[in-house]
Amino acid sequence: MKFMKLGTRPDTFYTEEATRTVISDAPTDLIIKINNITYLIHKLQFPLLPNCGLLQRLCSNNADKISIELHDIPGGDEAFELCAKFCYGITINLSAHNFVSAFCAAKFLQMSEESTANGNFIAKLETFFLSCILAGWKDTIVALRSAVGLSEWSDNLGITRKCIDSIVEKILTPPPKVTWSYTYTRPGYNKKTHRSVPKDWWTEDIADLDVDLFRCIIVAISSTCMLPPPLIGEALHVYACRWLPDISAQSNSVKNRQILETLISLIPPDQESISVSFSLRLLSLANLLGASSVTKTEVIMRCSALLEEATVSDLLFASHSASNDDGGDEHCHDVDLVVAVLESFLMAWRRQSPAADENAQLLISIRKVGKLIDSYLQVVARDRTMPVAKMIYLAEALPEVARPNHDDVYKAINIFLKEHPYLSKADKKRLCRVLNCQKLSADVRAHAVKNERLPLRTVVQVLFFEQEKGNSKTSSRVAAASDELRSRPDEKLRRSASTRSRHKVAEADKDEMNTKHSLESRRNP
């Protein structure tokens, strides 16, 4: 970081309670009050008045001792003291950290060349700003960051615009020509072993800026069309990681929501500009922070366009809802988020072609999403507080063409039944209606006919499908399954396989109670 040293005299300011003064034989004749600090200084013994046009006018009545209040000086008492020390010739060190406050205070005090012919404070500060601060990368970032508390002055004096222009110019510099120091802490990256400058070398440093300044920089960069959209997206991702890490509902929601909505508004329209993982995280944050419906809709559409690229881990977010559909117990996973994205995907998928299931590319797309959702269901099924209604809704949301086989959805249902042993018979039936037993593989059907967790209707459907195939391989499996059913402790299931084989699947589904009554009568004549 660059520094500028001015003055040669030692620091003779000292403090007594809330009063600051200069050690001198001459009596003080000027009182300046700034907030809770009082300065006792000299009007003419040191060139304070000659260097400050404002003080010259305020002290024009020639009184022996004058008291002035400067509560509105930008930068407060610290910035004023820098200006006072410059006038006293006391050594001061200027850097990007204190430049903005010193410059704004000097402008306020009118320390221009018109007040003195010996090179006043403003001229020296301007030289330092142009030749040192703007010439450096991190110095410009620091100066711009320090301008936030003095934004009105910084904007009016052109400091903000000049810093932003300098930053944008450096970002647009081809990486091989980057010679200045920057921050880059990606895991596995070592500057000593990487000779080339990474394309996203600038993202971490600008992530330190206030969101409004960050927005100005990103807008300026995007308007040039010189950087690829994924590079802009990476900058947004780094900023989100910097300012929105693992936030909760108790966080500063207003500030966080502003940051989130700003980031979403800055996403380039190109589909590949941000990853599906990042898109889904933004959606989760939008739900948590109560973002506007317009913002949520925008993110949902972006997530749905990338859904087939997602993995199960990308979909796993903690639920933010206070209660579920089955009585108010909290559940772990935010299934509503996945449902919203899936519904948006299906809406767009159906819009692409009147016969989307006949288009090879669209068929591949929907089946990738179907595989993803069924794998996701297997994970959330392990949540013992997951409402069965949400499991059913998400499982049924996929069109039939999305599942060339039903093995994965069967696994999800089996896991759910195992983790929810007290599920009602009605809920079990509702859940298992999702299954198309004709789309189960031979191994899964063999498991299903022995699965005591399944409702009778589902087992009967599997058995009849096995028998209708009528080949030697399935006959032995059916016989074994029939023996297994006879041995079940449940009275409903102690029926012979031959009796079940005389009924059609539709009859078992519509008239199960009549079948049970008939069997009971036969057993007890």
Integer angstrom CA distances of residue 479 from 121, 472, 486? 100, 11, 11
Give the relative orientation of helices 335-351 and 388-397 as an angle to the nearest 10 degrees. 20
Q: CA-to-CA distance for 56 and 49, rounded, in angstroms? A: 5
Location of structure tokens 């880059």: 184
Q: Which contiguous run of DSSP H or E holds residue 16?
A: strand 13-16
Q: How many domains does the chain have?
A: 1
- Structural domain contains residue 32: yes
**b/e per residue 13-36 (b: at least 16 CB within 10 A):** eeeeeeebbbeeeeeebbbbebee
Q: CA-to-CA distance for 449 and 484, rounded, in angstroms? A: 8
428 within 8 A of 457, measured Cβ to Cβ: no
Angle ∠(177,269,319) on CA atoms, nearest 5? 110
The secondary structure of 193-261 as a DSSP string is T--SPPTTTTHHHHTTS-HHHHHHHHHHHHHHT-S-HHHHHHHHHHHHHHH-SS--TTS-HHHHHHHHH
Task: Give me the count of residues in the chain.
Answer: 525
Question: What does the block give as tokens for 62?
Answer: 């020639």
Burial group, residue 73, by CB count within 10 angstroms (0-12, 13-18, 19+): buried
Q: CA-to-CA distance for 177 and 201, rounded, in angstroms? A: 12
Please compute Rg for the chain using Cα positions: 37
Between β-strands 30-34 and 37-41, what pairing exists: parallel, antiparallel or unpaired? Answer: antiparallel
Q: Which contiguous run of DSSP H or E holds residue 39?
A: strand 37-41
339 within 8 A of 394, measured Cβ to Cβ: yes
- Structural domain contains residue 98: yes
- Structural domain contains residue 195: no
pLDDT in tens, 165-177: 999 999 999 999 9
Alpha helices in 290-387 (DSSP H): 293-305, 312-315, 335-351, 360-380
Q: CA-to-CA distance for 408 and 414, rounded, in angstroms? A: 10
Q: Report the 10 Å Cβ neighbour count for 96.
A: 25
Phi first, then psi: give them for residue 516, nearest 5 degrees.
-65, -40
- Structural domain contains residue 374: no
- Structural domain contains residue 326: no
Question: How many H helices and E strands in the chain?
Answer: 26, 7
Q: Report the 10 Å Cβ neighbour count for 407.
A: 17
- Structural domain contains residue 477: no
For residue 433, what is the DSSP state? T
- Structural domain contains residue 64: yes
β-bridge partners, 133? none
Residue ranges, the chain, pLDDT below 70: 44-46, 61-63, 115-118, 191-194, 248-252, 321-331, 353-358, 469-525
Q: Which contiguous run of DSSP H or E holds residue 523?
A: helix 512-523
Question: What does the block give as tokens for 385?
Answer: 């507080």
Q: Report the 10 Å Cβ neighbour count for 48.
A: 22
- Structural domain contains residue 156: no
pTM: 0.83
Q: Report the 10 Å Cβ neighbour count for 245.
A: 7
Q: Residue 94: which CATH number? A: 3.30.710.10
Q: Find the domain containing 22 and state its range.
A: 4-132
Q: What is the pLDDT of residue 513?
A: 47
pLDDT in tens, 470-510: 544 545 555 555 555 555 544 444 343 334 443 434 444 44
Q: What is the pLDDT of residue 48?
A: 82
Question: What does the block give as tokens for 424?
Answer: 């009602």
The secondary structure of 101-143 as a DSSP string is HHHHHHHHHT-STTT-SS--HHHHHHHHIIIIITTSHHHHHHH
Q: What is the pLDDT of residue 29?
A: 84
Residues in Cβ contact with 402 at an 8 Å cutoff, skipping those fewer than 6 apart:
366, 367, 369, 370, 373
Q: What is the pLDDT of residue 193?
A: 67
Q: Would you state the torsion angle of the CA atoms of residues 432, 433, 439, 442, taken in this order, to the nearest 10 degrees?
A: 30
Location of structure tokens 């909505």: 261
Q: CA-to-CA distance for 349 and 343, rounded, in angstroms? A: 10
Give the relative orientation of helices 253-266 and 229-243 as an angle to the nearest 10 degrees. 170
Q: Report the 10 Å Cβ neighbour count for 233.
A: 21
307 within 8 A of 275, measured Cβ to Cβ: no
List the one residue out of 382, 384, 392 whose CA is nearest residue 431.
392
